[in-house]
A and B are shown apart, each in its own frame.
Chain A
Amino acid sequence: MSFQKSTFHHPRLKVNDLGLTYRDYEGALSTLCAGCGHDSITSAIIQACYELSIEPHKVAKMSGIGCSSKAPNYFMSKAHGFNSVHGRMPSVTTGANMANQALLYLAMSGDGDSASIGFGQFAHVVRRQLNMVYMVANNGVYGLTKGQLAATADKGVKNKAGEISLFNDIDLCSMALQLGASFVARSFSGDKKQLVPLLKAAMSHRGFAFIDIISPCVTFNNHPASTRSYDYVHDHITTAAVTDFIPIKTEITTDCNVGDCEDICLHDGSIMRIKKLDSEYDTRNAHKAIMDIEEHKKKGEILTGLLYFKPTASHFHEINNTCDTPLNQLTQDALCPGARILSGINDSFR
């Protein structure tokens, strides 16, 4: 079921640059389990979009199948959404984006959805450098089918039913880095302070942005033996770099230790400030990022934050050399060559 929320607005609710309140970015009432990490991701998305003053109807919410893929129903009900089939969100998003490049594509997937059934589609959408924000709610299990181990579950861990993960795990951030994603981050649904700015940066990035968000499944994977439980993640998290997002025309006042801070001007003139928490970390080196992820993992740590960023990346439509008008807005005049040209074509077949 989805429940409609009351649309009553308190007259003194704060508004953003578009005059919209936080509530204008909400969706239907969530039907996920109370405490599910996915709901925290939803609220982080709402906050990021509200603060960035994104026009809700210029967003397309895409997803596959799973508890996580239901999440788009729970934010921005003024945006169109497409809850597709299991593992195939990337292809549907590719087609949608081919048809209309003027929308912001916010896509939500699960670790089953992206690392198992949809692993091929995940890899290929990274390759194509589609301009989108690809979020995976990583809980190490299949929530919706009641707790089977996902391919992202660490080797050797047990699920709630006591089944042990026998095979090597797949790290989607490493995969995305290897396949050439231009923005790669990992975060934690329980750390809004880190997640919201990362989401804002991803949404402002023109190119393919990937965020793997550890998002505990309270019902099936929050037990002591889990490495995706709230407690485990809290205790083992470490951060590479965090982002701060500074909209256009805002004077940069916050101080920052030189060397650990980098300001990057994005395509629309706004600034992304990257603050390294680990001063050794290099957000411009994808190969090193893969190694860093591995090394932290060996130490039992989960490396989060901004892992890699290439601000000057190109995206699908630039590579394809598509016209600037979204294809779905081209009229018959532009599309149909007409009878005169057809008669010449006929003549070539005589």
Chain B
Amino acid sequence: MSKHNEKSLHKQTLHKQTLSKKSPNNKELPQACQAINEFVIRFANTNGTGSASANNMFAKAILRMGIPVSAKNIFPSNIQGMPTWYEVRISEKNYLGRRGGDSELVVAMNSQSINDDINSVKVGGYLLYDATKALNSEQIRGDINYLGIPISAICLKEYSNPRQRQLFKNVIYVGALAALLDMDFAILKDLVKDQFKGKEKLITPNIYALELGYQYAKQQFICPLPIKVESRDLLNNRIMVDGNTATGLGAVYGGATVVGWYPITPSTSVIEKFASYCARLRIDPATGKKNYAIVQAEDELAAIGMAIGGGWNGARAFTATSGPGISLMAEFLGLAYFTEIPVVLVNVQRAGPSTGMPTRTQQSDVLCCAYASHGDTKQVLLFPQDPHECFELTAQAFDLADQLQTPVIIMSDLDLGMNDHLSTEFKWDDNKKYQLGKVLSTEQLDELEVYGRYLDTDGDGICYRTLAGTHADKGAYFNRGTSRNKFAAYTEKSADYIDNMERLTKKLTTASQLVPQPIIKQGKKIAKIGLIYYGTSSHAITETIDHLKEHGLSADTLRIRAFPFNGQLEHFISKHQEIFIIEQNRDAQMKSIIVNECQIDPNKLNSILHFDGLPITSRFIEQAILTHFEQQSSTQQAS
């Protein structure tokens, strides 16, 4: 805070004459966009300037007004000084995927990117910008409305501390938006109070900054704008949270105790959240000691090695990684597959080969994870679509890993992991017991005449494990990555090798029944089109279906939630004339797996591939489908 005392600050009013270099189109708003609760705002900031928390507060305020909202952080792999965007879609129709296209309102706070940002305003839309420095003539478009607020000048006058001058800029534009969009100001104040709980000193100055922006907008512009928000009650108990938080929490609920990890964007916060929930929820009340152990390892090889060591010894263990980390973990994933050790790996996918685009999203590790490691391997994959499923599938992954005695990989992505999503709330049933799988107790071993680690006594491909320290005489075996017989003794006999590999195939068939089943939506009459998708592509689908209807096209959908597949996917494909597989990668990786694993006609499968690193949009999907049918009808006409 500046030297001003807080009360006198409140009394000050803003003087138009001293503060504003008038914005070009002040008070006159030509061909204005009009919308209530159905538009996109894009914030253009510089990273490292504290904009993220202000933008987040804005999105949360819309949410607390009961209006569905989605927020996408589009940020660079950099700590300070590079352009970053935050895109908020407000949609009472519940269209929560990225919309794409130009935005109705752009808040341009980054002089580096301002020219592009001005061009990203939709015709008839609004540009809110820092008018401390006048725009040059090239920056004036005739078809948009300019809302200039001399934000830097206000901060210069109000605050003496340079950091505050920077931070409060963000809060001021949020305050202005409250006036411009007719937001509930009391909600913003509450959010400030929530955010600074425990740091009360910061509440008053933040609210003051909000008011500075609010008052300025009220005085200078006709408020509200023709695009605005109105309170609704459309949330149905949904929460707004990022997927990594949900995953970390899911691991706590799933009973994870052993974690090895190595930092990498965008998976880092999975472990950080796990650690912070553990610090709250997993301290032994009697001793103050930890009911968990987390090691920041020397690299990803060690990270997964630790998780596998923990899983071998009967603890629930996991690691999280992204991109290059997945490549490094490959050898160990093969070991855990072949030696049948339960372990959970969270893969928050990012974009590209090599370092690629580390702060962009993709679903481009599907193939390399499904068949991770050399030799014939096949891994169990889960595909959460939203934070609710990140929580649920992560908790379930520990059951599956224990039941199946194999790695389970959770295929999240950057969009899901790092962006806030409106999502069904987390649910937990206290009657549900952890499924620890086939682990023999001391008593069971006592009764057993012969024990063979790889004896498939139940015929489901899953054998009985023993843990070190359980029994004085029975059940010990030498766990090894070399081929071995049913009694875990080394062998290079072909028949033994084949027998083991075939059993592992059988185990994966068992897995296909245990894993979360696909979600199929189809009407009584089977539609012509079948859309297959997974993970975050689901956010665009409701919108796609609605829009296709407007074009007279109806579509059934199947959302893949896990690999290996069972018959449902094949059935869905066989029942539909045209199948579109929607993916966020270049190489149609899921399609490759489907072709590889299912008895289907590959010619039926069309791919819709979005891989620019940003979340897929409904527009992109619709366009691809419509183009497909246009081309089909024109070739039919031609022939």
Contact = CB atoms under 8 A, between A and B. Distances in A.
A209 B255 CA distance: 31
A189 B105 CA distance: 76
> Range of interface residues on chain A?
35 or more
B260 A91 contact: yes
A84 B335 contact: yes
A56 B473 CA distance: 9
Contacts of B468: 57-60, 79-80, 96, 100, 103
Interface in A311-350: 317, 320-324, 327-328, 330, 332, 334-339, 341-342, 345-346, 349-350
A322 B289 contact: yes
A330 B481 CA distance: 29
Interface in B476-504: 476-482, 489-492
Given A96-B313, A99-B313, A342-B253, A83 B305 contact: no
B317 A99 contact: yes
Q: What is the interface of chain B mostly: helix, strand, loop, or mixed?
A: loop
Interface in B574-592: none
A305 interface: no
Given A81-B479, A95-B306, A321 B289 contact: yes
Nearest to A130: B295
B253 A337 contact: yes
Contact of A91 (B305, B479, B482): B305
Interface string A1-32: 11010000000000000000000000010000
A164 to B, nearest CB: 31
A121 interface: yes
Nearest to A341: B281
B308 A95 contact: yes
Nearest to B246: A349
Contacts of A290: none
Contacts of A80: 466-469, 476-479
Contacts of A350: 63-64, 235, 239-240
Interface residues of B, number: 74
A94 interface: yes
A98 B478 contact: no
Looking at B249, B305, B314, B476, the one whose CB has the most chain A CB atoms below 10 A away is B305
A99 B281 contact: no
Given A84-B305, A328-B314, A349-B241, A91 B428 contact: no
Contacts of B480: 73, 81-83
B309 A327 contact: no
Nearest to B298: A124
Interface in B56-106: 63-64
B426 A346 contact: yes
Given A99-B314, A350-B64, A339 B428 contact: yes
Given A323-B291, A328-B313, A57 B469 contact: yes
A79 B466 CA distance: 11
Interface stretch (B116-124, B429-437, B533-541, B627-635): B429-437
A2 B489 contact: yes
A332 B257 CA distance: 11
A91 B476 contact: no
A194 B257 CA distance: 40
A92 B469 contact: no
A149 B197 CA distance: 62
B302 A124 contact: yes
Interface in B282-311: 282, 284, 287-293, 295, 297-299, 301-311
Given A120-B299, A328-B313, A330-B291, A335 B258 contact: no
Contacts, number: 231
B425 interface: yes
B186 interface: no
A275 interface: no
A273 interface: no
A81 B467 CA distance: 10
Given A88-B332, A327-B292, A337-B253, A98 B479 contact: no
B207 interface: no
B258 A99 contact: yes
B73 to A, nearest CB: 17
Nearest to A74: B478
A225 interface: no
A324 B473 CA distance: 26
Contacts of B481: 65, 83-85
A81 B313 CA distance: 11
Contact of A99 (B253, B315, B478): B315
A317 B434 CA distance: 26
A205 interface: no
Among A61, A90, A94, A334, which residue has the most Cβ atoms of chain B within 10 A? A94
A334 B291 contact: yes
B312 interface: yes
Contact of B476 (A79, A95, A321): A79
A81 B235 CA distance: 53
B252 interface: yes
A112 B78 CA distance: 38
B471 interface: yes
A323 B298 CA distance: 24
Contacts of B470: 57
Interface in A71-114: 72-73, 77-85, 88, 90-100, 102-103
B612 interface: no
Nearest to B282: A335
B460 interface: no
B292 to A, nearest CB: 7
A292 interface: no
B398 to A, nearest CB: 10
A55 interface: yes
B482 A83 contact: yes
Interface in B226-247: 235, 239-241
Interface string B313-343: 1111100000000000001100100000000
A85 B331 contact: yes
B472 interface: yes
Contacts of A321: 288-290
Given A90-B302, A350-B240, A323 B287 contact: yes
A57 B477 CA distance: 11
B305 A100 contact: no
Given A73-B478, A103-B469, A330 B257 contact: yes
Contacts of A346: 239, 425-426
A98 to B, nearest CB: 4
A83 B302 CA distance: 15
Contacts of B304: 91
Given A81-B478, A335-B291, A349-B241, 11 more contacts: A57-B470, A80-B476, A91-B297, A91-B302, A94-B306, A95-B260, A100-B469, A103-B468, A328-B315, A339-B427, A346-B239
**What are the nearest 9 A-B pairs in CB distance?**
A95-B309, A91-B305, A99-B315, A95-B306, A80-B468, A349-B239, A99-B313, A96-B309, A91-B302
Interface of B: 63-64, 235, 239-241, 249, 252-253, 255, 257-258, 260, 281-282, 284, 287-293, 295, 297-299, 301-317, 331-332, 335, 425-430, 433-434, 466-473, 476-482, 489-492
18 contacts: A55-B472, A56-B472, A77-B476, A78-B476, A81-B480, A82-B478, A83-B478, A84-B305, A88-B301, A88-B332, A91-B303, A92-B309, A96-B468, A99-B258, A100-B313, A321-B290, A335-B255, A346-B426
